[in-house]
Amino acid sequence: MGKWGKRIGYGIGDLGCNLVFSTMASYLMVFYTDVFGISAAAEN
């Protein structure tokens, strides 16, 4: 595999990891504000 193949591979792996993390963080933001009643500013 060439240099660009490795870059693309690492980029796809990082994209998947960040996609999962951002989805979980977005869900937790909604969960904390709706269920626990915590303000969005306090959640950060």
- Residue 44: pLDDT band (50, 70, 90) is low
Write down how long the chain is: 44
**% of the chain beyond a pLDDT of 70:** 95
At 12-24, the pLDDT tens digits run 999 999 999 999 9
Q: Is residue 1 within 8 Å of 7, Cβ to Cβ?
A: no
Instruction: Say if pTM beats, i.e. exceeds, 0.75.
Output: no
With 80 as the cut, is the pLDDT of residue 26 above it? Answer: yes
Cα–Cα distance for residue pair 6/1, rounded to 1 Å: 7
Cα–Cα distance for residue pair 29/38, rounded to 1 Å: 9
What residue spans define the domains of the chain?
3-43
Q: In the predicted model, what is the mean pLDDT of the chain?
A: 92
